[in-house]
Amino acid sequence: MCHGGGSPFALEPDLGPAPAYRLFDVRVRQKVALSPSLLRITFHGEEVSRMRLDGADQRIRIFFPDAFGRAPALPHVTDWLQVWRDLPASERPPQRTFTLRALRREAGEFDVDFFAPCEFGPATTWARLAAREEGLQVAAPDGAFDGDCQGHEWRPPATPERLLLVADQTALPAVAAILEDLAAQQDLPPPTEVFVEMADMSDRIDLPAWCGLRVIWLARKGAPCGVRLIEAAHRAELPPSACGAPEPMPDIDADATLLWDRASPREAGFYAWIAGEAGVVKEIRRVLVSERGLQRAALTATGYWRLGRTPFDDPD
């Protein structure tokens, strides 16, 4: 990526200890339509071989051109996020959080799947119009970091007995990556039930398959966002060993607080992973825990976005 054009930042790298996430300058290698609303973009860069993936649903931040079409040019320093926050709004490149769909370190490339519906935001607009070799900046886990880089929520027990995934189509890339990770394991994966809500069934994609995997695609058919998933939460299979007395859930403001609820680490047992619109995820969590008695320690719930709001693109 060219850092010219009057960038106010020095180009010298920060030589301090490796941070969990670092910036990478990347360019578009190719773009493939997986469905009418899902685009896969492959990026490449000289230092992508230093990137790493710690979890199947690994999150990365992508910085996009600003309203004037200027490519992002943040400095390669350890406090890059604070630098971004301190920029005047007119100079701050928009950013969004995505799933690192696949990483091929030896080839110096990685994939990101963009859900690109008809409405246009900075990420959607860029993904639809992106040309080969167009440059961006990405904040992703640094392979030199000593420890878990975090930024991933899929943490099932070491020997799960049964799995449940509930997601809208914005979380479909993470669901696909999780299922691929399970299918690649040496042992047969545990029984797994997956519910994915779609605006249109034409956006279904091929997913791994194994004996014991059940994928249920739910078309909204004009229903409000999340209604089908909430209905699914009432009928999802929960083993008796994972349930107890219903537990009242604290009422959080999904408009003001990120919904980020992690399961407790365990060696075995049932595990549920929920991701999608924050208000819907909050209600699904309530149904599973407060109505059906699922142990909260077995549930990971993540709000990916909020209806009617700018996407949650700046979590701590």
Tokens (6 digits) for 257: 């607080």
Q: What is the reported pLDDT for 118? A: 53
Q: What is the reported pLDDT for 67? A: 84
Q: What is the reported pLDDT for 119? A: 55
What's the CA dihedral at 84, 85, 87, 93 to 10 degrees? Answer: 50
Q: What is the reported pLDDT for 13? A: 34
Q: What are the structural domains of the chain?
A: 21-141 (2.40.30.10), 159-305 (3.40.50.80)
* 125 φ/ψ sector (left φ>0, alpha ψ -120 to 50, else beta): alpha
- Eight-class DSSP state of 245: S
Which pLDDT tens digit goes with each residue over 249-281?
Answer: 777 776 666 677 889 888 889 999 999 999 999
Cα gap 98→55, rounded to integer Å: 13
Tokens (6 digits) for 18: 């490796």
Burial of 85: CB neighbours in 10 Å, binned 0-12, 13-18, 19+: exposed
Closest CA to 112 of 29, 39, 45: 39
Exposure pattern of 266-293 as b/e (b: 16+ CB <10 Å)? beebbbbbbbbbbbbbbbbbbbbbeebe
Q: What is the reported pLDDT for 187? A: 81
Closest CA to 13 of 27, 23, 1, 2: 23
Residues 6 or more apart whose CB falls under 8 angstroms from that of 50 comprise: 22, 24, 142, 143, 144
Which pLDDT tens digit goes with each residue over 64-120?
Answer: 998 888 999 999 999 999 999 999 988 999 999 999 999 999 999 999 999 886 556
Q: Are the C-beta atoms of 165 and 135 separated by less than 8 Å? A: no
Residues of the chain with pLDDT under 50: 1-16, 312-316
Q: What is the reported pLDDT for 131? A: 95
Q: Which residues pair with 213 in a beta bridge?
A: 192
Q: What is the reported pLDDT for 18? A: 65
Tokens (6 digits) for 70: 């200027």
Query: What is the reported pTM?
Result: 0.89
